[in-house]
Structure 1
Amino acid sequence: MHQPHAEPRRSIYYRYQVFDAWLPPPSAPLQQAGVVIAGAGPIGLVTALALAQQGVPSVVLEAERQVSEGSRAIVFTRRSMEILQQVGVAERVERNGLAWRFGNSVYRGQRVFRMEAPHSDDDRFFPMTNLQQQYLEEYLVDACRAEPLIGLRWGNQVTGLTQDGQGVRIEIDTPAGPYTLAADWLVAADGARSPIRTQLGLKLEGASYEGRFVIADIRVDLPLPTERLAFFDPPWNPGNTILMHREPHGIWRLDYQLPPGETPEQALHPDSLRARIDAQLAMIGHPGIAWELDWSSVYSARALTLPDYVHGRVLFTGDAAHLLPIFGVRGANTGFQDAQALAWRLALVARGVAPAHLLASYTQERVGAAREIIDEAGKSTRFMAPPTRGFRLLRDAVLSLSLSQPFVRPLYHWRTSRPHEYTHSPLNSAGDDNALFTAGPAHGAPPCNVRLGPDQFLLDHLGHGFTLLCATAAAALPEALQAEVAAARERGLPLRVIAVGAPQSVAGADLSLADADGHLRARHGLRAGGAYLLRPDQHVCARWMTLDAHRLRAALQQAVGQAATPTTPNPGA
């Protein structure tokens, strides 16, 4: 019988809660479920919440009985905050996290590069927010426990599975013994070591780098702002790199690279940790300062992905699908985009509104995103931890030149995680006016957020289904367009209509935004009669200079995998 750890994890700043294990009724060895999610980490929980918002219940299986140990993912990008806003926890993250936008690279005691992430009055969230993963998981667990469509089963470990064209039979062990769960779909959000990936015999593709890093979270009082700090070739760790981040509750994260040949056991020995952390604090001007260790771990930089995230009725997401270097805060932030992209498709398929082959576009988009990220992250990783003598010579030349030559300093940029643009998605409309626009987000991009008031933004109103954003000054949308919207809803498509530009309410629209200064329309390149169609994950799948009912119907069919004939992306995209 599976016996997960029942004592609260140790932490000097976070109080762990041990949840009751879910135990199967003795009279029901076989249970039924529509969607099962393996893993109650941030990605699995976001997937469950996004499914529930579209009316699809799920069962979440978690082998442990408490949230994850250690701070782990701590930096969440603006796009991740927008996704967390969709599932209802961004306010708590923003209230308790630390917002920032600057990063500093230091070489031989001199700041040689200062990164400044863009931020405007139209952005609700800062470019980055620091918060320990335990808190994020707590907020997501609270949201899931308040959602009647989500069943959280703590202490339930997946031990095996079989599948056919109709579903998946999942073998699960608990403190009370095993049971079997028959599901229509299984979402594997079970992390970097993914037992489900192993059970299916799947292999990740890409590169693993030899360099190892220690993560150490310490409580220490440092009079420094919330900005990323990167130290290259420091005297106490020659040839290597150290990163520092401020976290809430007086905690600082240190990541430092290990010399070749040092084992994780050697690196995590208390004497080794103390000597190196003391050396780093002394180097930044605080010798002998008191500090206390909360958590430490060792990791290697890896840039790997499955070539396909859909395997029959098993769907992979987050670290179960790919392993990405932490440089550029790519791990959890990429996983949130996976969860968002998967959930709306799976919801439509599970409800019978869209064909199962819609899920093929999930793997096409997100594997493409992972490969692009791996290319970018590889550049950052090779700079942070040069894998060969040649790369080290090149990196060291950049370091030396940066002391006197400003033109090389942007090479320090860590290429921060960003929202992927699905420019060539098969779900993009082939018959729209994408190529005619001179402004605004194009095919596959997320929309521009726009401030509408003191505490009101465009993305606040997008909801969880498709959004049709129409520019009009008329009192009503055309009758044919209203009829097509009604027909789409009859087919089960969640579709919200927002009219922009009319001083009064617009008949046929769910919401009317006056946009008196025209700022929203200008940012999207919209004129009267124009429109955008946004998918449930907020990415653009069509935009028109003029919209009619026929074009809307064609775009919706394309976006849910029901196009009459195969189409190719607009060459002007």
Structure 2
Amino acid sequence: MSRPFKPYPFEPRRYPAEPPPLVDGRDPTARAVAIVGGGPVGMTLALALARQGVRSVLIEADDSVCTGSRAICISRRSLEIFKRLGVVDGFLQKGLAWTGGRSFYRDAEVFRFAMHQDDEQSLPPMINIAQYQIEQLLLDEIERHADLIEVRWQTRVSGIEQRPAGGATLTLRTGDATDAAGVTGMSWTMDAAWVVACDGGRSTIRDLLGLKLTGTTYEGRYVIVDIELDSKRATERLAYFDPPSNPGSTVLVHKQPDNVWRIDYQLRDDEDPDAAIEPGNVMPRVQSLLDSMGETGAWSPIWITIYKANALTLERYRHGAVLFAGDAAHLVPIFGVRGANSGIDDADNLGWKLGCVINGIASPDLLDSYSDERVYAARENLSYGMKSTEFMAPPTFAFDLMRTAVLGLAERHAAVRPLINPRQTHAIAYRQSPLNHAGGETDAFRHGPAPGTVLPECRLLKLTDDGASIDIHLTDLLGPCFTALRFVAERAGDDASESTNESTSESANDATWQQLQHTLAGKRIPFNTVSIVANDARRTGRPDAIDRSGRLHEMLDAQPGTVYLIRPDGHVLARWRDGNAAAVQRALLATLKI
């Protein structure tokens, strides 16, 4: 249910319904990947595949990017993914960065939180940006890759059949015109080696395969209102519990680009949801909220809809040649902004693995790890999301009693304030991943990111050709490939013979890494090595990065000889206290199952 009013300050491009050239109602071109659903998850996956030279076709039911109020917060982890895809600049230019928020109980502030942010970070912890803007930024990049990504607009899936020999056949309908027999759209079929369902919470692919989401559905409902309001208020997450403007309810407020504000407020149990979104019931509540916030400017409604919290997931995300991602695979409560962000992480995880399989450098068994890792991540996200939901919209009298007690005590008792924490989304560590490579040395580390963990960010230096140094970040050194971070020794001592011996040994070591690079290139395995020194003053040659402050060495518990092997999605695959090219090669071949 929704009510549109004044249009958003955004005019989407409209695309025609055009099936590909057909032969007897069939697309004669066999597709490597068909992605069903052209939202943020499907678009991210298409771009991730394109970075590996893999062609895909996006099947989208609408004729443009989305309308209405949907996802509005993009996390640092998602921004890191967009950075590797080459699209992050548009997000940083358009989005509103924020680092924390405040919670109020009635008239009093009872909690203030701040997400991790320091000088080492290259990206903000969170930005606010509307989903239609997210999709437009991704679509702009997709159109720059038209040779690898094909988009079929106004096209719906009506059937799917998996073939015994592998792959699947999709039955599709393009266009909204109805013929004399009452059939809507032109019907045609397409063969694809792999089908990825990114078609949202009401997934057609999921229904056609007879699959069900399992978990918890909460009875509480929230009205979502987007308004236009010109305000100089800072960008932060605001939460109001039992506010005078809406007694007995919970209200969330987020500032968005272009003077759009998102307001979510909880309905009482006795309120009819159909009546709740009538303008006559919504407008007074919004006005009362703005009055209590001290916002006196003129405002206009843009969009009204209603939302029900779900914490649901499929048990597996791979079913033969069909894989599931985003809301088609799991539905996460909005509290903690895990919905779109977890879906973008799905696409990042699946993108490199599916690309390796299609390029013939990995066994299809690698895709089982996608399901293992992302189901684990979904359950982690659902656990945090359910805790937030039970606080934001208590499902029982006992939860409500507990929340009231916490809020009442929080103003004067700091010890209970963490219970109000909204638990914002964060990168999930795949602690039990079948891909984690122990290497026999991981226990030698005192600390640092273990296999399965996302690599932390750190500021580094890079030498230019003229000998100057420029600031870079660790994530600048990562691409859509496996990356070996080599912590290289500086030249110690001034003794000529010692220097000569070290130089000879170092040159031999460099040669083995160059040979590995050559060997993996011959196998078409995307791989790069990055050499890092703590101090370049006496180093022969040119390292890729300089950890002048020593912070990265400390964060990773690294010393000369340490090697970290990073996956294309930024997770640590393996680490060695004293690593070498042969160990890295063994780990890579084991990961790719070849």
Residue among 379, 384, 390 paired with 1:371: 379
Residue among 451, 457, 470 paired with 2:486: 470
1:540 corresponds to 2:580: no
4+ aligned runs moved over 4 Å, structure 1: 504-507
What does residue range 175-186 of structure 1 map to in structure 2 within 5 Å?
Answer: 175=175, 177-186=186-195
State the partner residue of 2:69.
Answer: 71
Higher mean Cα deviation, 179-188 or 87-96? 87-96
Q: Answer whether contact 1:324 1:377 (CA < 8 A) is retained.
A: yes
1:252 corresponds to 2:264: no
Q: Answer whether contact 2:439 2:575 (CA < 8 A) is retained.
A: no
What does residue range 547-566 of structure 1 map to in structure 2 within 5 Å?
Answer: 547-562=579-594
Deviation at 1:237, TM superposition (A): 2.6
State the partner residue of 1:331.
Answer: 339
Which amino acid in the other structure matches residue 402 of structure 1?
A
Distance verdict in 2 for CA 1:252–1:10, change over 3 Å: closer
Residue among 411, 422, 432 paired with 2:419: 411
Deviation at 1:49, TM superposition (A): 0.3
Deviation at 1:506, TM superposition (A): 8.3
Higher mean Cα deviation, 73-82 or 482-491? 482-491
State the partner residue of 1:568.
Answer: none
CA distance in 2, matches of 1:519, 1:393: 46
What does residue range 249-398 of structure 1 map to in structure 2 within 5 Å?
Answer: 249-286=258-295, 289-398=297-406
Deviation at 1:16, TM superposition (A): 1.8
Q: 1:80-113, CA deviations, whole angstroms, 9 ceiling, x for partnerless residues?
A: 1101111121100101111011210001211110
State the partner residue of 1:85.
Answer: 83
Secondary structure of 2:520 counterpart: helix
Q: Answer whether contact 1:79 1:418 (CA < 8 A) is retained.
A: yes
CA distance in 2, matches of 1:476, 1:231: 64
CA distance in 2, matches of 1:448, 1:280: 40
Deviation at 1:298, TM superposition (A): 0.6
Deviation at 1:505, TM superposition (A): 9.3
Deviation at 1:561, TM superposition (A): 3.1
Higher mean Cα deviation, 10-19 or 116-125? 10-19
Q: Answer whether contact 1:428 1:555 (CA < 8 A) is retained.
A: no
Q: 1:436-485, CA deviations, whole angstroms, 9 ceiling, x for partnerless residues?
A: 21232111111121222565211112110100110113456343343333
CA distance in 2, matches of 1:78, 1:64: 29
CA distance in 1, matches of 2:295, 2:519: 67
Q: 1:208-233, CA deviations, whole angstroms, 9 ceiling, x for partnerless residues?
A: 00000011110113342111100001
CA distance in 2, matches of 1:358, 1:475: 35
CA distance in 2, matches of 1:37, 1:261: 42
Q: Answer whether contact 1:106 1:232 (CA < 8 A) is retained.
A: yes
State the partner residue of 2:50.
Answer: 52
Q: 1:251-291, CA deviations, whole angstroms, 9 ceiling, x for partnerless residues?
A: 1110000111433321111101111111211222346x421
State the partner residue of 1:127.
Answer: 125
Larger radius of gyration: 2
1:449 corresponds to 2:457: yes
Q: 1:342-375, CA deviations, whole angstroms, 9 ceiling, x for partnerless residues?
A: 0111111111211111111111111011111111
Deviation at 1:30, TM superposition (A): 1.9
Q: Answer whether contact 2:196 2:324 (CA < 8 A) is retained.
A: yes
State the partner residue of 1:107.
Answer: 105
Q: 1:359-402, CA deviations, whole angstroms, 9 ceiling, x for partnerless residues?
A: 11111111011111111111110000000111111111111111
CA distance in 2, matches of 1:476, 1:121: 37
State the partner residue of 2:153.
Answer: 154
Q: Answer whether contact 1:104 1:111 (CA < 8 A) is retained.
A: yes
Higher mean Cα deviation, 32-41 or 455-464? 455-464
Q: 1:189-208, CA deviations, whole angstroms, 9 ceiling, x for partnerless residues?
A: 00111111111111111100
Q: 1:484-537, CA deviations, whole angstroms, 9 ceiling, x for partnerless residues?
A: 332222222100111111749988x9x722333433323222111111000110
Distance verdict in 2 for CA 1:476–1:74, change over 3 Å: farther
CA distance in 2, matches of 1:392, 1:436: 47
Deviation at 1:419, TM superposition (A): 0.5
Q: Answer whether contact 2:103 2:241 (CA < 8 A) is retained.
A: yes
Deviation at 1:121, TM superposition (A): 0.9
CA distance in 1, matches of 2:229, 2:5: 21
CA distance in 1, matches of 2:258, 2:507: 53
Q: Answer whether contact 2:196 2:322 (CA < 8 A) is retained.
A: yes
Q: 1:143-188, CA deviations, whole angstroms, 9 ceiling, x for partnerless residues?
A: 0111121111111111110002411000110126111100000000
Identity %: 42
Deviation at 1:317, TM superposition (A): 0.3
Q: 1:46-70, CA deviations, whole angstroms, 9 ceiling, x for partnerless residues?
A: 0000011011110111011111112
Q: 1:105-127, CA deviations, whole angstroms, 9 ceiling, x for partnerless residues?
A: 00121111000111011111111
Residue among 222, 227, 251 paired with 1:213: 222
Structure 1, unmatched stretches of 5+, are 1-7, 563-573
1:203 corresponds to 2:201: no
State the partner residue of 2:503.
Answer: none
Deviation at 1:28, TM superposition (A): 5.6
Distance verdict in 2 for CA 1:266–1:9, change over 3 Å: closer
Distance verdict in 2 for CA 1:113–1:485, change over 3 Å: same
**TM-score, normalised relative to structure 1:** 0.93
CA distance in 2, matches of 1:266, 1:449: 48
Secondary structure of 2:284 counterpart: helix
Q: 1:10-30, CA deviations, whole angstroms, 9 ceiling, x for partnerless residues?
A: 723111211122223244622
1:500 corresponds to 2:532: yes
Secondary structure of 1:398 counterpart: helix
CA distance in 1, matches of 2:518, 2:69: 47
Which amino acid in the other structure matches residue 327 of structure 1?
F
CA distance in 1, matches of 2:60, 2:144: 18
Residue among 228, 240, 243 paired with 1:231: 240
Deviation at 1:403, TM superposition (A): 2.7
Secondary structure of 1:73 counterpart: coil
Secondary structure of 2:376 counterpart: helix
Secondary structure of 1:364 counterpart: helix
1:17 corresponds to 2:49: no
State the partner residue of 1:461.
Answer: 477
Q: Answer whether contact 1:124 1:457 (CA < 8 A) is retained.
A: yes
State the partner residue of 1:569.
Answer: none
**TM-score, normalised relative to structure 2:** 0.89
Q: Answer whether contact 1:220 1:291 (CA < 8 A) is retained.
A: yes
State the partner residue of 1:424.
Answer: 432
CA distance in 1, matches of 2:282, 2:103: 23
Secondary structure of 2:186 counterpart: coil
Which amino acid in the other structure matches residue 178 of structure 1?
S
CA distance in 1, matches of 2:509, 2:133: 45
CA distance in 1, matches of 2:116, 2:423: 13
